[in-house]
Homo-oligomer: A and B are copies of this chain.
């Protein structure tokens, strides 16, 4: 049920397929941060020509997973405290806006679905206590739906296609499975209520806090790792 790629079509072309594979590899760290992305090497490894590979790399750059310099090649991004801060500053603002717009624009049945989703996640969460993947998937699902509910195509594009892979990369590589889980559920519930009441201002505020708390959580992990 996890919405993997919102605006990205099902991998119809070879470039799409390679993109998904490399995205996964980078997010999960099996291609190490900072490592060089050699076109001949990757082309051979994923069994495609360099043409679709380069197309995929262009899209990897678009979602900030790699950095290219002309005539010199590309490297996987490295995770830094400053980068995390910059990313979450943006997320707070953008997802706050998304919430406000969702409170105005979401259809009633979309809100109902969102509620059902949260309940379903609460069930699986109790059963599979601590399995961080499901929890992460559930959280992303929740955020995705609200973002889509904003009905603002540019906002959707930026958050779902360009920023969220990096968010996932930070989470996955820092191993997010702390005690924040149950609190996050409560926060999600409050946000849904605000949206259902069409209180955009409150939904905005709650989402900003929610993301702010999430950032603090990750910052702690990052500092622990640094020491």
Closest to A13 in B: B70
Seen from chain A, the residues whose Cβ lies within 8 Å of a Cβ on chain B are 9, 12-13, 16, 51, 54-55, 58-59, 62, 64, 70-71, 83, 86-87, 89-90, 93-94, 96-97, 101, 152-155, 157-158, 162-163
Closest to A88 in B: B154
Residues of chain B within 8 A (CB-CB) of A54 are: 55
Copies per complex of this chain: 2
Q: In the complex, A90 Cα to B101 Cα: how many Å?
A: 11
Q: Taking A55-B54, A55-B58, A58-B55 as contacts, is the C-beta distance between A152 and B70 under 8 angstroms? A: no
Q: In the complex, A94 Cα to B155 Cα: how many Å?
A: 11
Q: Taking A55-B58, A58-B58 as contacts, is the C-beta distance between A90 and B154 under 8 angstroms? A: yes
Pick the contact of A97: B55, B62, B89 (CB < 8 A).
B89
Q: In the complex, A90 Cα to B90 Cα: how many Å?
A: 12
Q: In the complex, A67 Cα to B129 Cα: how many Å?
A: 43
Q: In the complex, A93 Cα to B154 Cα: how many Å?
A: 13
Q: In the complex, A153 Cα to B166 Cα: how many Å?
A: 13
Selected A-B contacts with CB under 8 Å, 23 pairs:
A9-B70, A12-B70, A12-B71, A13-B70, A16-B70, A51-B51, A54-B55, A58-B59, A62-B62, A64-B154, A83-B153, A86-B153, A86-B155, A87-B154, A89-B101, A89-B152, A89-B155, A90-B97, A90-B155, A90-B158, A93-B94, A93-B97, A158-B158
Q: How far is the CB of A113 from chain B (nearest CB, A)?
A: 23
Interface contacts beyond A12-B71, A64-B154: sample of 11 additional A-B pairs, CB < 8 Å, sorted by A: A9-B70, A51-B51, A54-B55, A62-B62, A86-B154, A86-B155, A87-B154, A90-B158, A93-B93, A94-B94, A158-B158
